[in-house]
Structure formats: structure tokens, C-alpha cells
Structure 1
Amino acid sequence: MYDVIIIGGSYAGLAAAMTMGRSIRKTLVIDSGKPCNAQTPYSHNFITQDGEKPGAIASKAKQQVLAYPSVNFKEDLVNEVSGHDGNFKVSTRSNEHYQAKKIIFATGVKDIMPEIEGFQACWGIAAIHCPYCHGYEVRDKKTGILINDENALNFAKLILNWTDDLTIYSNGKARFNSEEIKNLGVHINEKAIQHIEHNKGYMSHLQFQDGSKSKLDALYHRTAYEQHCKIPEQLGCEITETGHIKVNEFQQTSIEGIYAVGDSSSPLRSVTLANASGAKAAFTLNHELIMANY
């Protein structure tokens, strides 16, 4: 019987595991090894680690977490969770079975890429989602936003903080107020995109279906996404309108004894916030375990 099983071993999960290790709690981290930022070359806006490779950060974190003897790590995929607060059962793809008093889901979300050839190869490199994570590196460069909905205006206002060489690519007839955006000095291109020309994820041009091209250094896009793991919803955890696991200020879900941290529970996707959510959940969880003894 573990005190807690943490499902997902990237930043949020490892942050939770470190707090549990320092609280001398018997902890198991189960991770399938598929972080959403695996393709991203450098991580930014994370103090002391700015510009470091994501894999290097995770590797060092794992090493530090496993220095605490009460924490164990398994490379596996969880396929079932059952039970209730104080007695959860966890089964994995390799037919291993574990028990835990508490569960933390740190399973993240899965990005759904637009059907544009070359986009996935550029994702996290030159096709980016967050100016706070990547905007400084492409400041003042020829930049685009791939969007075609009513959020285009506000997205344009945001990105103008980093560059004034900005074009919105609607990939078809615009479904937003073009005049308001043009008044900002932002160009609008409604041509259908055929593919992205790039070299190892660093783009050079957008190629359109009519044969024309547009030079481009960076393309912002907010991808559609889905929960990487369906188990929380299957257990009855409430899901928000944005598709995230609903949690309170302490990362507790609607199911007693189950917590959710990181991207699975927040639309604000950053390493810093993922770490904070993992630590916050572990603080609260450990307090619950302590109080249960009295």
C-alpha cells in the first residue's frame, strides 16, 4: 500500500513526488515516457533553468526525486484505476497491480494538430503556442498566427507585444472582424495553406494551395487538445467547459482522494506553473494523511 501513486512523471508529477519524498511518504510514480514538450528544443521562463533542454530538466528532476528513499519510479502505462479514498487500485499495461491511499493525475493533455503538412514537425520549435515560453526568441521576426475564430483580435493584440511584423493566417475565409485587426496594422491572409517549408522544425515559408508562398519565421497556434488520459473522467472527476479536470485551489478534484496537476487541470501551460501545481497538491495531500491519523 503506497501513500500516493502519481500517474505521470513529467514536471508536475515529479514536483509532487519530491514533496512526498521530503514528507517521508511511500510514493510511486508511473510514467509512460511521452511528455507533450518532447520536441521542444529549449525550455524558457523557468527560473534557474532558462534555456535548458526540457529532457535535461526532467532527467535532473528525476535524479533528485529518486534520492529520497521512499519514492519509486516505474516506466509503464496505467490503464485502470478503481476503488475509493484510502484504498485505490491501479493496474498497468504490463499487468502490474498496486494500491494507494491517494492518487495524483499528472497526465497532461494531447495536442491535436491541424491537418497541414509540416506543422507537426515544427510544433514546439517554430510552430508555438505561448509567447511567454517562446516569444522572446522570435521577437521582431516575421511572425504569423494560425487562427480563424473570434479570438483572433485578442490573440493579435497579445503577440504585437513581441513583434509588429504580424500576419493572421485564417487558412480559408476569415470568420472574424477583419477591419478591427487591420486597424492594428496586422495583415490578414485567407489563402488555404498546403504545407510548411522547414528545416528540422525551423520554418522558412508557408506554401499555399494556389502555388504562392509567404516567408515566415514563427507561427503561433492554439491547438485543439484532449485529455491524454481518460481515466479521471471515467472515475467521475468533473471536467470543465474547456476540457480540463476541474480542481479547487489545492488541486483536489471532485472525487475525494484524487488530485490533478499540470496541464490536465489548467489552460495555462508552462513548466513553472506545472511545478507549482504539483507541489501544492502534495502539500495538501500530505496534510490530509497526517490529519487522518488523529
Structure 2
Amino acid sequence: MMYDVIIVGGSYAGLSAGLQLARARRQVLMIDAGQRRNRFAATSHGFLGQDGQAPEFIAAEGRRQLMEYPTVTWLQDSVVQTAEQAQGFSVRTEHNGTLQGKRLILATGVVDDLPDIDGLKERWGKRVFHCPYCHGYELDSGRIGVLATSSLAMHHALMLPDWGTTTLFTNGVFTPDTEQQAQLDRRGVSVQSGAVRRISGERADLELDDGRVFNLDGIFTMSRTRISPLAEQLGCGMTDGPTGPYLHTNDMRQTSVPGVFACGDTSLAAGSVALAVAEGVRAGVGAHVSLING
């Protein structure tokens, strides 16, 4: 069967793109491996109408609503290879062979490569975060640490005093210059030098190499992000973002390869459910318009 659109990734952006196409009565194939980026978090915030809901509830309800449309097929699988062909695109899956579509939407998200610090990975999405708008309020104006992985730590450090008492841990990778230190002083941010040894405790006790321990309510840090190799297989153009590459798209979220669209974290250097849903709308509409125009 030749689908009108194959969407790779069934999280928030992919679901949103699929909904636009389903309502246009197009034949849509959703392929999802079940690895949402925010699967480690207990609650999701900042999305109007869903604030405080569990991420898995939002995703499951979105899928339930999407699957009410008879032109949508859901495949729980991983795509391992994509290719352009005369009539559109083919995708080869891990368990269900090769499938074909006239258009392709990449909603594959990103993979977070976390700082290699003992105790951090276990607390990712629980006490260690990347988005203040998603998790800052729940720290209840408490003690917040910013773990530097690069000079981008300044971005977090200057934002987070609105959510609590903030300490920047330079971690041996970043030293504020005179102007940056003045900015931190104006925002009331304290600075602690030295490498971070581990994070432990029920909340987030941060220990430095010299033995000092800081009892924190939460920590914010920047991961490095990787996108799916599927885009590279197709030759899609990329842009260097602050934490890693992401796909370059136009206003309708078409990539540099005609007929291939992208949405969500894979094409936007920012991560939130609300933004992913909005970008999915644009990609779904963009793919539909391209089908109309041939």
C-alpha cells in the first residue's frame, strides 16, 4: 500500500501532525518506537489544558483521539532506514519490512547525552532537568543548582532566580568573565568552582571533588542532543543548535528534501510539549498542502 504520509515518531509532535492529516481524510501511517523524550518525568507542565498531567496520559489520550479516524494506521516499530524513490519514500522497519508513502514526516525527537556524573542519570526528569518552564515552579522557590557543561550555563543561571535561590556550579568547564560575573551578581546568583563528583540523596545533594556538599531541591543542566540518522540518510540539511544539530526546515516545516517534513525537537532547538504540538500542526498542514499541489 502507498500511504499518503508516513509519520516516524508517535509522540506529541507526530500525533499532532497526524491529526491534521487524518482530518483531511488522508491515509496516514504512524510508526512509533515508544521512546518519548520526557518519559522520565512524572508530570508535564506549561501545556494549556494539560498542565500537571502525566506525560504518558497526554500521549495516550492523543493516540486514542487520533485513532478514532479510520484513515490512520498505527505501527509499533522502529524505522531503521529511509530512502527516496520515484513515487515518494520508503521506510524499512525492524519488524514489519518496507513500507511506502508519498510524503514523510520525521517526528523522531532527540536523544539526550547527559553529563557523566555519578547519580545524575537516575535523577534525570525527577530532580535534574533542562527546562525551567517545565519544572521550575514545582521546586517551590527552593534551592536550585545549575550544573555547567559549557558557557551555555549562563542561560540557565540568569533565568532560574525567578524560580528559586540559584547557585552556578562551574564544574571545571566554565569560568564567568568580568561582565558575566556582574550579570550573575545582579541576579543574585552565587558561583561555586570545582568539579562535581556526584549527586545523591532523596532530592539532589551535589558533592564537589573537595568534599563540600550542597543540599539542593533541583538541578538544571544542558545535555548534548542527537537526532535520528534517518535524516542524514535522506540528505536533509541541518543547522547547528546550542546543544546539537537539528533539521533545517521552512515555514511549513519542509526540510531541504522536497516531500520530507520535520517537527518537534528534531527541528526545533527547544523542548516542550506545547511547542512540539504546535510544530506538529505546521508539519501536518505542510505535508497536506504539498500533496494538494503535487
TM-score of the superposed pair, with normalisation by structure 1: 0.93
- For 1:76 and 1:254, locate their aligned partners in 2 and report how far apart those are by CA, in whole Å: 26
Residue deviations 1:64-113, cap 9 Å, x none?
Answer: 10110100111101011112474211111115111100000000010001
Matches within 5 A, 1:37-116: 37-84=38-85, 86-116=87-117
Residue deviations 1:115-146, cap 9 Å, x none?
Answer: 11111111111111111111111141000111
Whether the aligned pair in 2 keeps the contact of 1:197 and 1:206 (CA below 8 Å) is: yes
Structure 1 residues 156 and 204, CA gap change in structure 2 (3 angstroms): closer
- For 1:185 and 1:206, locate their aligned partners in 2 and report how far apart those are by CA, in whole Å: 20
- For 2:174 and 2:133, locate their aligned partners in 1 and report how far apart those are by CA, in whole Å: 27
Residue deviations 1:166-196, cap 9 Å, x none?
Answer: 1001112643226322453211111222211
Question: Which piece of structure 1 moves more, 97-106 or 174-183?
Answer: 174-183
Structure 1 residues 51 and 12, CA gap change in structure 2 (3 angstroms): same
- 1:124 counterpart residue number: 125
Identity over aligned residues, as a percent?
36
Q: What letter matches 1:231 in structure 2?
A: L
Q: Which runs of 5+ in 2 are unaligned?
A: none
Q: Tell whether 2:278 aligns with 1:276.
A: yes
- For 1:128 and 1:52, locate their aligned partners in 2 and report how far apart those are by CA, in whole Å: 17
Q: Find 1:193's aligned residue among 170, 191, 196.
A: 196
- For 1:148 and 1:291, locate their aligned partners in 2 and report how far apart those are by CA, in whole Å: 46
Matches within 5 A, 1:145-156: 145-147=146-148, 149-156=150-157
Please state whether the residue corresponding to 2:201 is helix, strand or coil: strand
Matches within 5 A, 1:1-294: 1-84=2-85, 86-147=87-148, 149-163=150-164, 165-172=165-172, 174-177=174-177, 179-180=181-182, 181-199=184-202, 203-227=203-227, 229-242=228-241, 243-292=245-294
Please state whether the residue corresponding to 2:136 is helix, strand or coil: helix
Whether the aligned pair in 2 keeps the contact of 1:170 and 1:190 (CA below 8 Å) is: yes
Please state whether the residue corresponding to 1:100 is helix, strand or coil: strand
Q: What letter matches 1:11 in structure 2?
A: Y
- For 1:272 and 1:251, locate their aligned partners in 2 and report how far apart those are by CA, in whole Å: 16
Question: Which piece of structure 1 moves more, 246-255 or 205-214?
Answer: 205-214
Aligned length, in residue pairs: 287
Structure 1 residues 73 and 217, CA gap change in structure 2 (3 angstroms): same
Residue deviations 1:205-256, cap 9 Å, x none?
Answer: 11223332111111111111111x1111121100102200001111100000
Structure 1 residues 173 and 89, CA gap change in structure 2 (3 angstroms): closer
TM-score of the superposed pair, with normalisation by structure 2: 0.93
- For 1:77 and 1:256, locate their aligned partners in 2 and report how far apart those are by CA, in whole Å: 23
RMSD: 1.6
- For 2:187 and 2:88, locate their aligned partners in 1 and report how far apart those are by CA, in whole Å: 57
Whether the aligned pair in 2 keeps the contact of 1:82 and 1:89 (CA below 8 Å) is: yes
What is the deviation of 1:268? 1.7
Structure 1 residues 248 and 149, CA gap change in structure 2 (3 angstroms): same
Structure 1 residues 236 and 82, CA gap change in structure 2 (3 angstroms): same
- For 2:176 and 2:85, locate their aligned partners in 1 and report how far apart those are by CA, in whole Å: 47
Whether the aligned pair in 1 keeps the contact of 2:151 and 2:174 (CA below 8 Å) is: no
- For 1:16 and 1:222, locate their aligned partners in 2 and report how far apart those are by CA, in whole Å: 28
Whether the aligned pair in 1 keeps the contact of 2:114 and 2:121 (CA below 8 Å) is: yes
